[in-house]
Amino acid sequence: MSSRRHVVITQFGPPEVLTLTTEALPEPGANEAQLRQTAIGFNFIDVYQRKGAYPLPLPTGLGFEAAGVVEAVGSGVSDLQVGDRVAYMNAGVGAYADWRNVPADRLVRLPDSVSDEAAASLLFKGMTAQYLLRKTHAVQPGDLLLVHSAAGGVGQILTRWAAALGATVIGTTGSPHKREAALAAGCEAVIDLTDAAWPQAFLEATGGRKARVVYDAVGKDTLIRSLDCAAPFGLVVSYGGASGPAPAIEPELLNKKGCLFLTRPSVFPHNADVRTFRANAADLFDAIGKGHVRVDIGERFPLDRIAAAHAAAEARRIVGALLITP
């Protein structure tokens, strides 16, 4: 293969700024593996970056995760071989491509039980759920959790895994047609976020009990009222802003709402070194093997319809994960 197709943006803006281009494929450099990508993941962070909400130097590629087959390795690569099936989620932007050279220490070999499509659609989201329920809070049997966007990509994985660990999960969704997916993922009750009184609906569903942890990646539209759903000394995890950036919060408000803890974590520092990354991935693959984590692919888009994929995600149309095929 001497050329590759990849998506670039030269300006921030609507989905139409995503442009598929062809360029020469360089040989893999030292400590790099060359991948023929077979499946590419979509994550909501890709939208923030395309719009410039998380600005990148331009021009830039986009996309954080993909799976594929190692077709060549550069010098210094000893732990991967041609023919290995691998995936990544933490190798910098540029996954929207058919071929890509990737630092070998950002790759994890896939077990037979995890297909390329499953890996590409759940590694980033699954590794997010992994740290959210192992590290941000070590979820225990009996914990009551509120998970926003429970029918979404991260939301479904987090819900299913937390329920398997014995937690009671109450989910929210932004439209009634996502309710069944949230229930199927393991929510005990699903709250409709379009109901302005959703915090009261949450308390009605729990008999007045508040959550040990609130997982909120909706941000602007929900975070302040998420504080009302957390039990005294509870934890509110603001891990995204699908509706816009989360508002600033005065520490004194956390006191008034019940001596709450508030954190804003990210998946990248949790997987910054190769040993931790591969150990976390092994934990995720183990959970997949046990059936605690599963991916429901909502829709597939070929690489040349990447703009339509972004438009569908932003319209909140996708239930489950969106997969891009090279």
Ligand X SMILES: NC(=O)c1ccc[n+]([C@@H]2O[C@H](COP(=O)([O-])OP(=O)(O)OC[C@H]3O[C@@H](n4cnc5c(N)ncnc54)[C@H](OP(=O)(O)O)[C@@H]3O)[C@@H](O)[C@H]2O)c1
Residues that bind ligand X (CB under 6 A): 43-45, 125, 128, 149, 151-155, 173-175, 178, 193, 217-218, 221, 239-240, 242-243, 265-267, 314, 316
Output the smallest distance, CB 71 to ligand X, in A: 28
Output the smallest distance, CB 21 to ligand X, in A: 25
Distances from the Cα of 248 to the Cα of 222, 244, 263, angstroms:
13, 12, 12
Neighbours of 169 (CB within 10 A): 28
Cβ(75)–Cβ(104) under 8 Å? no
Output the smallest distance, CB 133 to ligand X, in A: 12
Question: Which H helix or E strand runs over 309?
Answer: helix 306-314
- Comparison of 96 and 99: residue with beta carbon closer to ligand X: 96
Looking at this protein, which amino acid is placed at residue 297?
I
Q: What does the block give as tokens for 149?
A: 């966007």
d(CA 204, CA 171): 13
> Pick from 88, 92, 85, 90: which is nearest to 110 by CA?
85
- Comparison of 77 and 120: residue with beta carbon closer to ligand X: 120
Output the smallest distance, CB 305 to ligand X, in A: 18
Cβ(129)–Cβ(293) under 8 Å? yes
Neighbours of 316 (CB within 10 A): 16
Distances from the Cα of 276 to the Cα of 120, 132, 235, 272, 324, angstroms:
19, 15, 24, 7, 27
Output the smallest distance, CB 242 to ligand X, in A: 3
Name the residue whose CB lies closest to ligand X.
152
Output the smallest distance, CB 132 to ligand X, in A: 8
Question: Which H helix or E strand runs over 71?
Answer: strand 66-73
